[in-house]
Chains A and B, each alone.
Chain A
């Protein structure tokens, strides 16, 4: 499903993700970006999906313990805080590549309005946190039956 979003991007820019990030930084973007938008590749990555009765937030945080992510909601802002220990640098280890994120992080993302933070639930599996935020009752889609005249 999230792969489908790719079609929104130009294929070439998708290929040149790094270049695009650089361009974003160097050139002013005529289209307004979300004020809380982060550069690509920030840790942890976040996806949002919507169903009829809830919004689901997927937080890709491999290597985190289930209790190492602090999830808080205020109004429609979801804040994620935590820390992934950096790989220890010791004398016996010869480093060749270090691409994985290590250290403390804090991210805030704006959610659609009308979610019930009180009834939110979170699960962790295979390095992915899933936060389910139910929509408030009055905002759920309703079927309206048409009565025969």
Chain B
């Protein structure tokens, strides 16, 4: 079963540059919800079949990369009859704005749904400016 697209979970940026076109193309784009709440951005991504150890979350040069390998326990000798989900891994990248504190990102994965909390840096939180009566 598709041994050819197996790769070490972690790879350097150089290796990523050199990955074959075919592999790049085979990645699926997960559906996401993004919203802001309580001084943080929240990203919710559908990653069915991805376990915590098959998921890589990286922030590099303000680019957030989510990459997860779909691990289905399938018996040997199984053949595909029909597939709507065609591929072995999810990949999606986002550019973060500077107010996000890359060090403080929290991640939670449950039942194939990833929830990322990306807090804003303290200095970028809105401040209420009081108006004094003259």
Report the tally of A-B residue pairs with Cβ distances under 8 A.
140
Contacts of B71 in A (CB 8 A): 126
For A42, A125, A130, the residue with the greatest tally of chain B CB atoms inside 10 Å of its CB is A125
Q: A100, B2: Cβ atoms under 8 Å?
A: no
B53 to chain A, nearest CB (A): 11
Contacts of B46 in A (CB 8 A): 62-63, 100, 127
Interface size class of B (residues with CB under 8 A): 35 or more
Q: A2, B86: Cβ atoms under 8 Å?
A: yes
Q: B36, A94: Cβ atoms under 8 Å?
A: yes
A96–B41 Cα distance when bound, in Å, is 10
Contact of A1 among B73, B80, B82 (CB under 8 A): B80
Contact of A96 among B36, B84, B111 (CB under 8 A): B36
The stretch of B9-17, B25-33, B58-66, B100-108 in contact with A is B25-33
Contact of A100 among B33, B36, B41 (CB under 8 A): B33
Q: B80, A63: Cβ atoms under 8 Å?
A: no
Cβ contacts A62-74/B at 8 Å (1 or 0 each): 1111000000000
B89 to chain A, nearest CB (A): 9
Q: Interface size on A (CB < 8 Å)? A: 46
Q: B84, A98: Cβ atoms under 8 Å?
A: no
Contacts of A64 in B (CB 8 A): 111
Within 69-98 of B, Cβ neighbours of A (below 8 Å) are at 71-75, 77-88
Q: Is A92 an interface residue (CB 8 A)?
A: yes
Within 117-146 of A, Cβ neighbours of B (below 8 Å) are at 124-128, 130
Q: Which residue of A lies closest to B44 (CB)?
A: A100
Q: B84, A61: Cβ atoms under 8 Å?
A: no
Q: Which residue of A lies closest to B71 (CB)?
A: A126
Cβ contacts B35-52/A at 8 Å (1 or 0 each): 111100100101111110
A–B pairs, 26, beta carbons within 8 Å: A3-B2, A3-B5, A3-B88, A4-B2, A45-B85, A47-B80, A48-B83, A49-B78, A50-B78, A51-B77, A56-B78, A60-B85, A62-B46, A62-B47, A62-B48, A62-B112, A63-B110, A63-B111, A94-B36, A97-B33, A100-B44, A100-B46, A125-B73, A127-B48, A128-B48, A128-B72
Complex A-B, nearest 5 residue pairs according to Cβ-Cβ distance, in ascending order: A127-B112, A62-B112, A127-B48, A60-B48, A45-B84
**A residues neighboring B (CB under 8 Å):** 1-6, 11, 14-15, 40, 42, 45-52, 55-56, 58, 60-65, 87, 92-101, 112, 124-128, 130
